[in-house]
Amino acid sequence: MKKWLLTAAAAALTLSFGAHAYAQNIQPRLIRFGYGLNEDSNQGRAARFFAEEVAKRSGGKLKVRTFGAATLGPDPQMQNALIGGAQEMMVGSTATLVGTVKEFAIWDVPFMFANEKEADAVLDGPVGQKLLDKLQEKGLVGLVYWENGFRNLTNSRHKIEKAEDLQGVKLRVMQNPVFIDTFKAAGANAVPLAFAELFTALETKAVDGQENPYTTIVSSKFYEVQKYLTVTNHVYSPWIMTASKVWWDKLSPDEQKILIDAAVASRDFERADTRAEAAKALDQLKADGMDVTVMPPEEVAKLREKAAPVTKTVIDSVGQPLWDEVQAEIRKTRGTN
């Protein structure tokens, strides 16, 4: 009763004096969290998990509202909204951040990680953190990396078994110079395009193919418009959870801690969930009618060779010291020096 009276009194104050600070105290802080894939995807499941964790850990004081399927715009647009403070949080590809922090190009280097274990160790280690920290001066707070995963090729034109089969294939790539250069070097006609426009581009045959992890090929229903799948595992590409720095700086240390802890929990959930789905996805894609080819190792080696000059360009751009640091971390996880 007393509490109710106080609330009523405060509400009256709010009405008469427009006490803005009071309104902030009782209303949960609304966090708009955007992402690009469908709600029914590994990205969507982990976004919901994050929202639930934040609600639990903050006792409902912080409220995350998730917006999937690029309803708040494609990755680059959301990044700008975060920088300007018009949106609070997002998860998207590190690949689309390269224009903001050039060092992120290092995660786009083809064939750099051999497996998920290496990627986890390096991304969650000191170098991964160093890159997250670089976002601060650009108006973003980098929180954690999620798994997008090893990428594979799909297309509607013909079976791609050999490296040379990529010749002339009109392939959608992410809006990122390393991806464009890698596939140009492989002989494909690489077309950068926002993910949100990809399904239609494949359906109308504006492009022949694309490359993404199995999980995305399933959740985005690319199997409906793509006949051929080629297993190449050509690059491990991460997702990254970011927050608007102007907004973040207004939060209390307690609120920031809740968000950081929930982000870490969501990362662990997301990786486990993604790997469980990926393990079943290939069979599902076959059942959905896709013609699956595993590119033989000697052909993958050719792709790797063609990509070597691109790797060199990335090293020139990010600097030899950062490259060496990443390689040292990888070697550490491989148990060799």
Of residues 97 and 262, the one with the C-beta less far from ligand TK8: 97
C-beta of residue 151 within 8 angstroms of C-beta of residue 212: yes
Tell me if 93 contacts ligand TK8 by CB under 6 A.
yes
Of residues 148 and 152, the one with the C-beta less far from ligand TK8: 148
Tell me if 82 contacts ligand TK8 by CB under 6 A.
no
Radius of gyration, alpha carbons of the chain? 22
Tell me if 150 contacts ligand TK8 by CB under 6 A.
no
| Member of 32, 34, 37, 251 binding ligand TK8 (CB under 6 A) | 37
Query: Residue 28 to residues 84, 201, 287, 329: CA-CA distances in angstroms?
Result: 22, 40, 45, 41
| Member of 34, 68, 73, 92 binding ligand TK8 (CB under 6 A) | 92
Pick from 140, 99, 91: which is nearest to 244 by CA? 140
Of residues 258 and 271, the one with the C-beta less far from ligand TK8: 271
Cα–Cα distance for residue pair 270/35, rounded to 1 Å:
14
Please report, as residue ranges, which positions from 48 to 77 form the binding site for ligand TK8 (by CB under 6 A).
75
| Member of 34, 36, 110, 177 binding ligand TK8 (CB under 6 A) | 36
Residue type at 158 in one-letter notation: H
* Minimum distance from residue 15 beta carbon to ligand TK8 (Å): 43
Tell me if 212 contacts ligand TK8 by CB under 6 A.
yes
Of residues 92 and 177, the one with the C-beta less far from ligand TK8: 92
Pick from 150, 176, 225, 7: which is nearest to 76 by CA? 176
* Minimum distance from residue 306 beta carbon to ligand TK8 (Å): 21
Q: Count residues contacting ligand TK8 (CB under 6 A)?
A: 10
Tell me if 274 contacts ligand TK8 by CB under 6 A.
no
C-beta of residue 70 within 8 angstroms of C-beta of residue 36: yes
Q: Closest-CB residue for ligand TK8? A: 36
| Member of 31, 106, 174, 262 binding ligand TK8 (CB under 6 A) | 174
Q: Is 107 exposed, middle or buried (0-12, 13-18, 19+ CB in 10 A)?
A: buried
Tell me if 31 contacts ligand TK8 by CB under 6 A.
no
Neighbours of 241 (CB within 10 A): 27
Strand partners, 209: 155, 171
Tell me if 44 contacts ligand TK8 by CB under 6 A.
no
User: What is the DSSP secondary structure assignment for residue 44, as one 8-state letter?
Assistant: H
| Member of 33, 195, 236, 247 binding ligand TK8 (CB under 6 A) | 195
* Minimum distance from residue 279 beta carbon to ligand TK8 (Å): 19
C-beta of residue 266 within 8 angstroms of C-beta of residue 144: yes
Of residues 64 and 201, the one with the C-beta less far from ligand TK8: 201
| Member of 58, 79, 87, 148 binding ligand TK8 (CB under 6 A) | 148
Q: Crossing angle for the helix pair 320-334 and 116-124, nearest 10 degrees?
A: 130
Pick from 165, 145, 146, 149: which is nearest to 157 by CA? 165
C-beta of residue 176 within 8 angstroms of C-beta of residue 96: yes
Residues 221-240, mask of contacts with ligand TK8 (x by CB under 6 A): --------------------
Cα–Cα distance for residue pair 34/87, rounded to 1 Å:
8
**Phi/psi of residue 110, each to 5°?**
-60, 145
* Minimum distance from residue 70 beta carbon to ligand TK8 (Å): 6
Q: What is the binding site for ligand TK8 (CB under 6 A)? A: 36-37, 75, 92-93, 148, 174, 195, 212, 216
